[in-house]
Structure 1
Amino acid sequence: MTGGIKVKQLRDIPISVLDLAPIKEGSTAADSFHNTLDLARHAEEWGYKRYWLAEHHNMAGVASSATSLVISHVAAGTHSIRVGSGGIMLSNHAPLMIAEQFGTLESLYPGRIDLGLGRAPGSDQAASRALRRGLGSDGSEFPEQLSELRAYFDPNGAGSRPLGVRAVPGEGLNIPIWLLGSSGFSAQLAGQLGLPFAFASHFAPDYLLPALQLYRSSFKPSAALSKPHVMVGLGATAADTVEEARRLATSQQQQFLNIIRGRTGMLQPPVDSMDGLWSMQEKAILQNKQNYSIAGDPSALQERLLQIVEETDADEFIIASQIFDHSAQLHSYELIAQLFKEN
C-alpha cells in the first residue's frame, strides 16, 4: 500500500495474446493457421484471457486477412478463452456485415467473442481502394459507422441504422466492443462513448501516455462500462537467457525494418546481429518504435513490465510476439504467463 492506494502487481493484471497469424519464410498460410490454433490452445491452458487476431490485407507475411473466419477457427478449437479481433478495420466494411459476422460468432461461441475495432485500413493504398470499392469511405466516417454498427446490436433499434434493416444474427446480443488506436482520435471517442480502449504501443510508443490521459479524462460512464478500462499492447519476447531472447526478437526487428522501408514480406528467421541489415538511421527509428517491446529473460521482463505498469496503470496487457520458431514462441508465451502468475 502507498498512501492508501494499492500498487498493482503483475498478478493483478490479465494478459492476452495478439496474433498476426504470421506466414514464415518457407511456410504457407495453412501452416500459419495450424500454429495459431496450437498457440491459442496453449494460451488457454496457461491462463491468458483473450486471443485476438488482426485484420491486414495485401501482406505476404500475414494470414489473418479474413479475420472473422480465423476467429471462428480458433474459437472452435478452444473451450474458454475469449476470442476476438484486434482489430476489425471498420472502414473496410459495411457495418451490417460486421454485425452479422460477429452476431454469428457470438451465436456459435456464446460469451466468448470480443469485437475490437480500428479506424486505419490495415493495408496499402491499392488494397484499400480494392476493399472499399462502393463504400465511399476513407476512414473519416468511423464515428458514424461505429454508431450504425452498435445500433444493429440494440434490440430497441436505437441509433443510426437504416430504417427497417436488422442484423440477424446480431440483434440483441451482448458483444463487447473495444476501440483500438495508436493516436488520440480513438482514445477520445472511446472515452466519450464509455467503451474500453486498447492502445497499440508496440508500434506507436510516443503516443501511448497522451492517449491514455485523453481517454481517461474524456471518459463518460455508459451501459457498457462504469469506469475507464485500458488494455496496453506490448511486444514481448521471452527466453531462458537475455541473449537468446534478443536473438529471437530479430525476426520482429526485420519485420519492422521492412515496414520502415515501405515493403512487406514473410517473417524471417532470427539473425545473430542486425548490424549490416539496417543503417544507423533505421536502427535509431526502429529502437524508438520498440520502446514498449521487450526482449529478455523473465527477470529482465519483470523489471520492465513493472515500470510499464507504473507508467500506464494498465488494466490489461495484450502481448504480440513475432517469433520465427513455433516452439520458441510457445516457450516465450509460457514464460510470460508464469511471470504474471508469480509476481
Structure 2
Amino acid sequence: MKRFIAKSIFLPLSILYGLIIDFRNWLFDNQLLPSVRPSVYSISVGNLTVGGTGKTPMVEFLIKRYWSSVYMTNASIATLSRGYGRKTRGFRVATVDDTAATIGDEPLQIHRKFGKQVRVCVGERRVEAIRLLLTHHPETALVVLDDAFQHRAVHPHLAILLMDYKRPFYDDYPFPAGRLRERRKGAHRADVIVVTKCPMNLWEAEQQRIISRIRPYTGSETPIFFAGLQYGQPVSFATHQPVADLKNVVLVSGLANADPLENYVRQAYGMQKHVRFADHYAYTRADLESILTNRPDGSVVLTTEKDWVKLDDLLTAEERSTWPLYYLPVAIQFLAEQESAFLAFLTTHKQLTKA
C-alpha cells in the first residue's frame, strides 16, 4: 500500500521527466542535436532500466564472439564506457597500472580478463573518445559501447537493448516513480532485444507472452532473444584458479540487483549470510577487515568479479595468499538454440551495415 501511494505521488514527476527526455530524443531524431555515426563498426549495449540488466556479461560475450571471428586481428577490438565511479576525467586507455578509481570497476574487470585481446577505453565524451581512439589506434575494427543506449551523440551501427526478465520495462515507469531512464517507447531504437536473467527452463509460451508485451514498443521485425546467467566455478584471489567443493560462504556484493546471485549462491554453496553494498561501491580497507572479522567460523568470502577487482587492490601479497577470498565468474547463456540464431543475426547485420 505504501509503495502504491509513493508511486502515485511521484507519477506526475515521472510524466514530466519522461516528456523532457522525449524532447531530447526528438532533437536528436530531427538532427537538431548532432548524432555521429562512427567510421568504425560500433555496437551499443544498454537498457531502459537503471542498472542490473547484465550489460557487462553481454559485453564480454561480444568480445569473445568477435575475437574468435576470422576477420578480427590482434588489438582490433576496443570497448568504450564512461567509466562510472572513476575519479579521473577525459579519454583514457586502460593499462596494467589502472585501478577502479582511475577507469571504473567494470572497465577494470574487462581489462583484467581481456586486456591482451581488446583495448579497454573510458571517456565521458564518447564522440571525442572514439576520434582519439582511432587517431592513436587506426587498426581498430570494432568498438563496443557499454551502457550507451541513451548516449544519443553516438549513432551506433547496432543497438542491443537488454531487459531484466524480472523487471520488464513494459511494467515500469520513468524516474522517480519507477526505474526507467526514459519512456518505454525508447525501445523502438533497438536493433535487437535480449531478455536477460531468465530461468534456463523458461517455457516457450512464457517467452511468447513476454514478446507480445514488448512488441508494442519495438519495430515489428526487431528480433527478441532470451538468455540467463551461467555461473562458473569460484576462483581463488591467490591463485586465480577455480576451486571445487566450496562451502559455508559469506557472499559480498555491490550490485544494482543482487537477488539472482544470492539465490544461486544460497543453493550452490551453503550461504551463511550476504553482505550487500550499493552498486559500484568503493570498498575501503575497513570494509574488508569488517567482512573478514565478522564472518562465521569456518566460512570463506565469495564475491563477484566486479567486486573482486576493487577488494583485491586492498590486499598485500601475503594477505592475498592466506585469506579465504574467492570470486564467482558469470557469463551470459542463451536459452536452447537461441545462441546460434543470435550469432547469425550479428553476422548478417554487420554484413548489411556499412561502417
**TM-score, scaled relative to structure 2:** 0.30
Is the helix fraction higher in 1 or 2?
1
**TM-score, scaled relative to structure 1:** 0.31
Q: Over alpha carbons, which structure has the higher Rg?
A: 2
Is the strand fraction higher in 1 or 2?
2
